[in-house]
């Protein structure tokens, strides 16, 4: 309940940075993460860590030394640092992840970013940063809520994925989330 309250407060503070007032459900988090190879991943980045709805599932799969969480909201960063003291979190834009990660070294990037509220420029810069940071063969996991797929920015985002990655797979709809969402798994060339 505490996570939901913190998430709701963040949505009210920054409505253009948080695309929904509901945190990611455990079912969507599990579906998202089931598409990653955590057995062999040495370096994992989470974009838009929020209140840790996905982080708490990630933490069970990785060592503390291989994780970096990036979150724009400074109050959320403090919340994450208190609740996940063994993990590293940095405050900033996802497009600036090169400030904390070496190019072509990350095995897996997991994202809860609100792609449909991003401008074309922000989408382009963020995807370019993801591609630059992932190692060859690295995987990018994200999701888009089903209702948001009607937005032009969702279509632009999916096209950018298809233009930048070797493969892009859309997984079946995860119904046990508010709202239901599709997971996208994209692999770097």
Asked whether residue 11 is domain-assigned, the answer is no
Asked whether residue 136 is domain-assigned, the answer is yes
CATH code (residue 111): 3.40.50.150
Asked whether residue 78 is domain-assigned, the answer is yes
Asked whether residue 161 is domain-assigned, the answer is yes
Domain around 40:
24-187
Q: Model confidence over 40-92: pLDDT tens digits?
A: 899 999 999 999 999 999 998 887 679 999 999 999 999 999 999 999 999 99
Helix, strand, coil share of the chain (percent; to 5): 40, 25, 35
Asked whether residue 6 is domain-assigned, the answer is no
pLDDT tops 90 at residue 5: no
Q: Which residues contact 138 (CB under 8 A, 6 or more apart)?
A: 106, 107, 108, 109, 187, 188
Asked whether 184 and 144 are in contact (CB, 8 A), the reply is yes
The number of distinct structural domains making up the chain is: 1
Q: Model confidence over 126-172: pLDDT tens digits?
A: 999 999 999 999 999 999 999 999 999 999 999 999 999 999 999 99
Axis-axis angle for helices 152-164, 120-133 (nearest 10): 30
Asked whether residue 8 is domain-assigned, the answer is no
Asked whether residue 4 is domain-assigned, the answer is no
Distance between alpha carbon 189 and the CA centroid of its chain, in Å?
A: 20
């Amino acid at each position: 309940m505490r996570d939901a309250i913190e998430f709701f407060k963040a949505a009210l503070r920054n409505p253009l940075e948080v695309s929904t007032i509901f945190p990611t459900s455990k079912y969507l988090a599990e579906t998202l993460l089931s598409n990653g190879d955590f057995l062999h991943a040495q370096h994992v980045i989470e974009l838009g860590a929020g209140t840790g709805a996905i982080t708490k599932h990630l933490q069970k799969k990785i060592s503390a030394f291989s994780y970096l969480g990036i979150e724009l909201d400074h109050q959320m960063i403090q919340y994450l640092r208190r609740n996940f003291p063994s993990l590293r979190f940095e405050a900033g834009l996802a497009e600036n992840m090169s400030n904390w990660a070496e190019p072509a070294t990350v095995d897996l990037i997991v994202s809860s970013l609100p792609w449909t509220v991003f401008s074309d420029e922000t989408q382009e810069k963020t995807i370019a940063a993801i591609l630059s940071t992932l190692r060859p063969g690295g995987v990018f996991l994200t999701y888009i809520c089903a209702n948001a797929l009607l937005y032009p920015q969702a279509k632009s985002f999916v096209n950018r994925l298809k233009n930048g990655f070797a493969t892009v797979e859309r997984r079946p709809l995860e119904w046990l989330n508010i709202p239901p969402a599709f997971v996208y798994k994209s692999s770097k060339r």
